[in-house]
Amino acid sequence: MAAFSSDPIGLDIECCGRSKDFQAIACRFFLPEEADFVSQAGADCEEVFLRIWTAKEAIVKLTGEGLAGGLAMVRTTPDGQGFLGDQVVYLRQFVAGNCYGTAASFFPFEVKGWFDL
């Protein structure tokens, strides 16, 4: 994946089909309300988990620290908003084949297009 921007941007993409215990991972790495979204998702558990995970990881990548910066500092909402502490982070979520992804920026942005290479 590649992005071009004059401002810092964070990206993450994760593919579906992994047989993981999404609930347990969410309880360990997500904030309690985010873990609740996963537990309440039923058959959509994997999609909800991947949308939250990619948003959180894109935000920590945006900081330049990556996962070492800690997912606990990052918060997401069901309507697709992101926060790093109290700072708003702008998110664009997408689906590419069987993968979910998120682009994150500290500034409002628009996606001009998606291209397969």
Alpha-helical runs (H) found in the chain: 22-29, 32-39, 45-62
Q: In order of start, what are the domains of the chain with their CATH numbers? A: 10-105 (3.90.470.20)
What are the φ and ψ backbone dihedral angles of 105, each rounded to 5 degrees? -150, 155
Residue-wise pLDDT for 42-82, tens only, equals: 899 999 999 999 999 999 999 887 676 677 789 998 788 89
Cα–Cα dist 56/76, whole Å: 7
pLDDT interval class at 3 (50, 70, 90) = confident
How many other C-beta atoms can be found within 10 angstroms of the C-beta atom of residue 96? 12
